[in-house]
Amino acid sequence: MPLVYINLMEGREPEKIESMIESVSEAVATSLGDPIDNVRVMVNEMKEHQYGVGGKPMRIVRADRRSRAEGGSE
């Protein structure tokens, strides 16, 4: 029984996550030749303070990215 864990930053619409679960389940079932009813998908939504990139919390990373996209300096 395949079990897939997916970690996401919170904030997506439930319908998007449900669609992703369906797509991932189909891909795993097809790839492994298992019945889709055997595939399990667990989605964990994280808050910005629970995830970091390059030693910085995600809220800082996102703010830096927004600043660069708006033409600010690094």
Q: What separation in angstroms does the CA of 21 have from each of 8, 46, 50? A: 12, 17, 22
Distance CA 63, CA 70 (A): 11
Is 15 among the domain residues? yes
Residue 73: per-residue pLDDT? 59
Is 33 among the domain residues? yes
Instruction: List the catalytic residue out of 2, 14, 35, 57.
Output: 2
What is the extent of the structural domain holding 54? 3-69
Is 43 among the domain residues? yes
Question: Phi/psi zone of residue 33: left (φ > 0), alpha (ψ -120 to 50 degrees), beta?
Answer: left
pLDDT tens per residue across span 1-25: 999 999 999 999 999 999 999 999 9
Question: How many structural domains is the chain composed of?
Answer: 1
Question: Phi/psi zone of residue 57: left (φ > 0), alpha (ψ -120 to 50 degrees), beta?
Answer: beta
35 is a catalytic site residue: no
Say which CATH number the domain at 18 has: 3.30.429.10
pLDDT tens per residue across span 65-74: 999 999 865 5
Is 74 among the domain residues? no
CB 25, CB 1: distance < 8 Å: no
Q: Look up the pTM and report it.
A: 0.78
